[in-house]
Structure 1
Amino acid sequence: MTKKLTVLATGGTIAGIAGSAIAPEYSAGEISIEDYLEKVGGLGLEAELSGRQIANIDSADMSPTVWNALHPAILEALGQEDCHGVIVTHGTDTLEETAFLLDLTLPADKPVVVVGAMRPADAVGYDGLRNFANAVRVASDPEAAGRGTLVVMGDRVFAARDVRKVRTRGTEAFRGFPRESVGLVTPSSLEWFGAPWRLDAAPAFVWSDDLPEVVILYVHAGLCAEELLRLVGEETRGIVVAGVGEGNMPERVRQELALMALGGIPVVRASRADEGLVDREGEDEVNRFVAARALNPQKARILLQLLLAGGVADPAAIQRSFDGR
């Protein structure tokens, strides 16, 4: 049976144009979803595709405004009995954040696949067509259900929790941590590395169209407490520390953050390192800090925003949620 898939477009390099096959620069989000579906129409994909343009932007400009349009559009598509899955086209710079947000707030009974490209559509070696064909293969597979939101890039299938962009160039720009990838895909084949893990289809969080402000403090040599104080404003509800090593920070900064945590602003310790766990340490109990575990700073920020939006502000409760990711 031919699967019916809904494609929701947000722009990005996959819809980008350079004006030259070898140009070093390009404009993201130039091709409309109608033109893109016409472009992929000649690939012989075994799916019936319909599309809708949510935005057409560089993903550096991704914002809650776009998320607030994208999320209900996905739910609407998933709610249609004849829709077998959803594909979201997206720029790669913030792809992991959108995918993680969707993973936490969508049911898992039908596949939702986020896909992008590292080269614009008129570049030599454009990877977007293959990535998109791979995404169609994944979204059409019944075994993709129950795995949460998935990301397809470079012939690999990643879970939204694990995926991260690790290179600025090249088609193998994404990796996963702690799981490298959950499947391998080509336009004609798909191999899963294990059974679905989201057998409970319900979303982990209720969607919020008014996410609270959570800032990320990037730790560097010479960071002073004054920089922290300038970063935190009256509307700040939470802080994620992109710490050195295992979420470490200068002592003076730690003292100021501990005072903020004591005053009711949750503080999550993550790491600016590309891979590795940030576990709880002895001082966290006294400081009222939360350890991000396997989540990088940008994903830790999204999880903290959702928790705060749902009224969860107690450090112990927040820690339990991070431990369960």
Structure 2
Amino acid sequence: MKSKLTVLATGGTIAGIAGSAIAKDYRAGEIGIEDYLERVGGLGLEAELSGTQIANIDSADVGPAVWHPLRARAMEALADEECDGLIVTHGTDTLEETAFLLDLTLPANKPVVVVGAMRPADAVGYDGLRNFANAVRVASDAQAAGRGVLVVMGDRIFAARDVYKVRTRGTEAFRGFPRESVGMVTPASLEWFGAPWRSDTPARCGLPEDLPEVAIVYVYAGLDAQSVSRQLGSTTRGVVVAGVGEGNLPECVRQELVRLAREGTLVVRASRADEGMVDREPDDDTNAFVAARALNPQKARILLQLLLAGGETEPAAIQRAFDGR
């Protein structure tokens, strides 16, 4: 019996058109979901697919205006007894952020897979069809439930909390940290590297209409306190520091952030390194800082936004939330 899958489309390169098989430039989000499902109809996929167009844009333009209707429609699909799983098509530039937000705000009772492509649909070597076929295979597998939101790219399956984009070219553009891929998939095969890890099937966070302002401060050699203060406004409620090394920052910047933390701004130390694990250091308690652990700055920002929106303001409680991710 074929699985019944819902596809929610947001645009991106997977729906892009270049107008030439060898052109460098292309337009993201040109193919509508109905047209796309017609194109994949000839692949012989073992699933019944129904689609909804949430947006059709470059993922550089994705944000709350897309996240809210996307999450709302996803909740409807997951609550439908006729729906066996969910696929979200998305541009790769901000794919990891949307996947992580959905991972935090959706239940884990059914498979949810986010998929994209590195080449437009009319390019030589278009990877979108294979990635989509792989996503169908994963979303059709009952063992994909209980793993949170998954990302399928380049024959690999990643957990949303681990995945990040590492390359601007080539089809092997994503990696995972601290875990690499959690499974391997082709249109004809699927292998998991472990058992499902989500025992808390309900959504872990809500998604309120208004998300608080959280800034990301990127640390570089010579960064000073004045440069930091110029980036923050009167409505900024949190700061994620993309620090050097293990979340390190210049002393003058540290003192400025300590001052902000004492005034009620939440400060999270992350790393600008691709594989940057940031543990708590002895001064974090005194400074009221939070360590991002394995989350990169952009994901740390999303988690902090959701926690603040949910009314959490205590650094110790926010640290526990980061430790649990």
Range class of TM-score, shorter chain: over 0.9
Gaps of 5+ in 2: none
Match of residue 102 from structure 1:
102
Identity across the alignment (%): 78
Q: Please, which moves more after superposition, 256-265 or 279-288? A: 279-288
Match of residue 2 from structure 1:
2
Match of residue 202 from structure 2:
202
Match of residue 13 from structure 1:
13
Question: 1:248-267 counterparts in 2 under 5 A?
Answer: 248-267=248-267
Give the SS at the match of 2:71. Answer: helix
Q: Equivalents in 1 of 2:177, 2:163: separation in Å?
A: 7
Match of residue 142 from structure 1:
142
Question: 1:303-322 counterparts in 2 under 5 A?
Answer: 303-322=303-322
Shift of 1:210: 1.1
Give the SS at the match of 2:239. Answer: strand
Runs of 4+ aligned structure 1 residues displaced above 3 Å come to none
Contact 2:29 2:57 in 1 (8 A): yes
Match of residue 173 from structure 1:
173
Match of residue 36 from structure 2:
36
Question: 1:253-292 counterparts in 2 under 5 A?
Answer: 253-292=253-292
Gaps of 5+ in 1: none
Contact 2:225 2:253 in 1 (8 A): yes
Question: 1:109-124 counterparts in 2 under 5 A?
Answer: 109-124=109-124
Q: Equivalents in 2 of 1:313, 1:199: separation in Å?
A: 26
1:192-249 CA distance string (max 9 Å, x none): 0011011221111122221111000000011111111111101111000000111111
Are residue 242 (structure 1) and residue 234 (structure 2) matched?
no
1:56-106 CA distance string (max 9 Å, x none): 000000010100110010011111111000100000000000000000111
AA aligned to 2:6 is: T
Contact 2:68 2:207 in 1 (8 A): no
Match of residue 87 from structure 1:
87
Shift of 1:162: 0.3
Q: What is the CA RMSD across the aligned residues, in angstroms?
A: 0.6
Q: Give the structure-2-normalised TM-score.
A: 0.99
Are residue 193 (structure 1) and residue 196 (structure 2) matched?
no
1:240-279 CA distance string (max 9 Å, x none): 0000111111111110000000110000000000003101
Q: Equivalents in 2 of 1:200, 1:322: separation in Å?
A: 16
AA aligned to 2:87 is: I
1:7-40 CA distance string (max 9 Å, x none): 0000000000011111111110000001100000
Contact 2:276 2:296 in 1 (8 A): no
Match of residue 156 from structure 1:
156
Question: 1:284-303 counterparts in 2 under 5 A?
Answer: 284-303=284-303
Shift of 1:285: 1.1
Q: Equivalents in 1 of 2:85, 2:209: separation in Å?
A: 23
Tell me how many residue pairs correspond in the alignment: 325
AA aligned to 1:69 is: P
Q: Equivalents in 2 of 1:307, 1:200: separation in Å?
A: 17
1:121-144 CA distance string (max 9 Å, x none): 000000000000000000000000
